[in-house]
Structure 1
Amino acid sequence: MLISRIHHVAYRCRDARETVRWYEQHLGMRFMLAFSEDHVPSTGELDPYMHVFLDAGGGNVLAFFELPGQPPMGRDPNTPAWVQHLALEVDSLDTLLATRERLAAAGIEVVGPTDHTLFQSIYFFDPNGHRLELAANTATPDMLDELDRVKDAMLEEWALTRRAPQHARWLHEKNREEDQP
């Protein structure tokens, strides 16, 4: 494989300091470094920015750009808010639930936990409007083997029909049954 790992993932933010402090306070990330330029190194264009980097654990880095010379941030109006998100793994369901309580106590609206069978998740937004997901794995090796077995067939069926293949319906069947009257 050509890629050895993700070096960093970068998003835009409204306020670099606010963003760093929020991630430190609510997700325990360490502020690693910052740099700033008046000109974009790759293009040379004039566009002053602050670029901040946070340690997301396990060698993962989350970065943000504050761009004061650009129009206000927006979202792609053709993509639902639940689609674009950053999913971060936590070590256990206990950690997930404790974090949910801390976020809610801080006035942050949290959805979940949602049981995806392979993992349970909570969802919330950072101060920039980026949707975040925290996930605690609950998958068994047999579940992962079964998903590996059907992945190609699912992708091919989707490509032909643009309808949800049912090969892995079992992932959310329990949730559908619980929703029934």
Structure 2
Amino acid sequence: MTPTDTRVKPDGLHHLAIATADIKTQIAFFTDVLGCELVALYWMHGVKGAWHGFVKLSDTASIAFVQSPEIAGTRTELGVSHSGTPGGACAPGTMQHVAFNVADDGALLAMRDRIRSRGVPVFGPVDHGFCKSIYFAGPEHLTLELSTSKAAIDARAWIDPEVVALAGITAEELARFKAPAKYHNDGPPLPQPAHDPAKPHMTHPEMRYRAMLATPDDRYTRERSDTEPPVKIAAE
């Protein structure tokens, strides 16, 4: 049962997984250049031949990396798989750029110095009104940003009526987007919905995917879970 709660929504980023053909280089960059400590590196659960690495942003947020033989053989194409610049184009649904948070203006400038001290060019800060940002590149054509805000974004000031109209968003839709419906479920957990091709779907082979959709949640959890860490540590 889902409790009646207006907070039935994501409350932050747990981890963002980045594909890589060189996980060591990515880990070296994020640890040395950005100062994020390595906290996990293991065989990815349920994905044969793949490695999964995590570097820590905070106690509840990480940047993750996935390396597999298939990724190593996949071609990078600027303007398709990667934007290459903060304003560059890339394919719909891909990550155009990612911005990490820092506490304040002083931390932003300190991070600029840290990154430059490792020989990596950094541009900014640029004041965007609701945040200040610096921009730089990471390995394998990542487009990266660090940002800081003094307050939450004020939707009254930052939702542009011109862009709303150009995006085809009606007044009714805008009101719904600004105040999403609350959700609660006083009954039993909901089963998978009926298959609707118009909805977003993962791209597993069709027969496998349909079998996954028909699998009860408790069975899926039982069969897919892997809770044992690769290194056994003594209880404290």
TM-score over 0.5 for the pair: yes
Q: In structure 1, what is the equivalent of residue 97 of structure 2? A: 85
Aligned to 2:220: none
Partner amino acid, structure 1, of 2:56 = D
Q: Is the CA contact 2:34–2:114 (under 8 Å) kept in the aligned structure 1?
A: no
Distance 1:21 1:159 in 2: 41
Give yes or no for the alignment of 1:6 onto 2:13: yes
Pick from 149, 166, 183: which aligns with 1:158?
A: 166
1:80 and 1:129 map into 2 onto residues whose CA distance is 8
Matched position secondary structure for 2:14? coil
2:129 aligned with 1:122, yes or no?
no
- In 2, distance between residues paired with 1:92 and 1:100? 13
Q: Which amino acid aligns with 1:97?
A: L
Alignment identity in percent? 25
SS of 1:98's equivalent in the other structure is helix
Match runs of 1:6-85 below 5 Å = 6-36=13-43, 41=46, 48-70=49-71, 71-75=73-77, 77-78=79-80, 80-81=83-84, 82-83=86-87, 84-85=96-97
- Tell me which residue corresponds to 1:166: none
Give the Cα–Cα distance (whole angstroms) in 2 for the partners of residues 57 and 122 of structure 1: 20
| Structural RMSD (CA) | 2.7
Question: Which amino acid letter does the alignment assign opposite residue 59 of structure 1?
Answer: T
State how far apart, in whole Å, the 2-side matches of 1:150 and 1:113 are. 20
| SS of equivalent residue, structure 1 residue 160 | coil
Larger radius of gyration: 2
Match of 2:124 in 1: 112
Q: Give, in whole Å, the separation in 2 of the partners of 1:109 and 1:68.
A: 31
- Show CA shifts across 1:105-154 (max 9, x none): 22101121111111111111112221110002144x6xx43x34663845
Change in 2 beyond 3 A, CA 1:150/1:131:
closer
* Shift in CA distance, 4/96, structure 1 to aligned 2, threshold 3 Å: closer
- Mapped contact 2:20–2:66 kept (Cα < 8 A): yes
The whole-number CA distance in structure 1 between the counterparts of 2:22 and 2:124 is 28
Task: State whether structure 2 residue 102 is matched by structure 1 residue 101.
Answer: no
- Structure 2, unpaired ranges of 5+: 1-7, 88-95, 170-236
Q: Match for residue 175 of structure 1? A: none
C-alpha separation in 1, matches of 2:59 and 2:129: 24
The TM-score with structure 2 as length reference comes to 0.55
Q: CA contact under 8 A between 2:83 and 2:97: conserved in structure 1?
A: no
Change (3 A) 1:125 1:153: same
Question: Which structure 1 residue ranges, 5 or more long, are not aligned?
Answer: 162-181
Distance 1:73 1:100, change over 3 A: farther
Distance 1:150 1:33, change over 3 A: closer
SS of the counterpart of 2:58? coil
Normalising to structure 1: TM-score of the pair?
A: 0.70
Q: Name the SS of the counterpart of 1:128 in structure 2.
A: helix
